[in-house]
Structure 1
Amino acid sequence: MSITLIALAAAAATHSVPIDHHGTALNAIYTARADVTTRTVGAKTPNRMDMQRCNWTAKVVIDRKLDHGPALARTIASDASFTGSEAGACANGAKLEQRVLALHQDKIHTQLMAVADRDRAPLLAELDAVRNLASN
């Protein structure tokens, strides 16, 4: 089961970076989300203690868009991921994912800020390429 959710707190999951490109003011908006995959392991047998556990893995994914249009919107690769385990079978629904996101909100925000900083030069190069193409 794979579920993708936008991080709970919008302030922690979104970061806006002002960019001045050849006199044009732009805002690059970075949004973090977690792709959470769960897997139930263990046995559940009658007349015995339940031995099931829910193992989960969450990978941080960063989406970038510009404030004035869909141009240059893309998903930026992120190497941040975290894992955990909880007692019982994995439940369908958003409860587990909400707990995971709330528990690791600081890590997600830190990764979002780092990716936004690393993406400045590639974004400016993409903007220059689009400008050069438009001027030809």
Structure 2
Amino acid sequence: MSLLALAATAMLVPAAQPVHSIPIEHRGATYRVDYKPHVETSMRVVGMSAGPRPSTQRCVVNARVSVERVIAGGQGQELKAMLPGSETFQQHLPGSCHGRDGDAAKVVAAKAGAIATHLARSAAADRTAALAAIDSAHHFAAN
């Protein structure tokens, strides 16, 4: 058996994860737009361990990062939306995944720089959509 599956373990983003913030000026008002990561991790065992033979098992840790946009107005209102798409980071660790729940958090912490880069790229690509969301909110508020 070359592939053993382990139940997926989902985690929320630790509070120390980076947040990318930018100010947007639109229609005479300044809005703070935060891009926050949402990380889901899963672990699975690949390989096998057959009695007295050397084990070929390794733990594959996947961290799927999606981005939430939070637009904050000057009066305490917030407009939240999950952005389409995500990025997956992967790391292989030797041995089984059993009892290694803390290793998933370590992998996410080790990828903090790559996650911050992903947030910055998402923010740059999202500017037009953020302006459209602000216009839409103004339209609904006026009606």
Task: Give the structure with the larger strand fraction.
Answer: 1
Output the amino acid matched with 2:121: A
Name which of 73, 78, 83 aligns with 2:90.
83
Name which of 112, 126, 134 aligns with 2:133.
126
Matched residue, 2:77: 69
Distance 1:79 1:65 in 2: 17
What is the count of residue pairs matched by the alignment?
Answer: 133
SS in 1 for 2:12: strand
Distance 2:58 2:12 in 1: 22
Q: Could you tell me whether the CA contact under 8 Å between 2:67 and 2:86 is conserved in 1? A: no
Q: Which runs of 5+ in 1 are unaligned?
A: none
Name which of 19, 23, 38 aligns with 1:18.
23
- Percent same amino acid at aligned positions? 27
TM-superposed deviation, 1:23: 2.2
TM-score of the pair, normalised by structure 1: 0.82
Runs of 4+ in 1 over 6 A off after TM superposition: none
Distance 1:90 1:75 in 2: 30
Matched residue, 2:32: 27
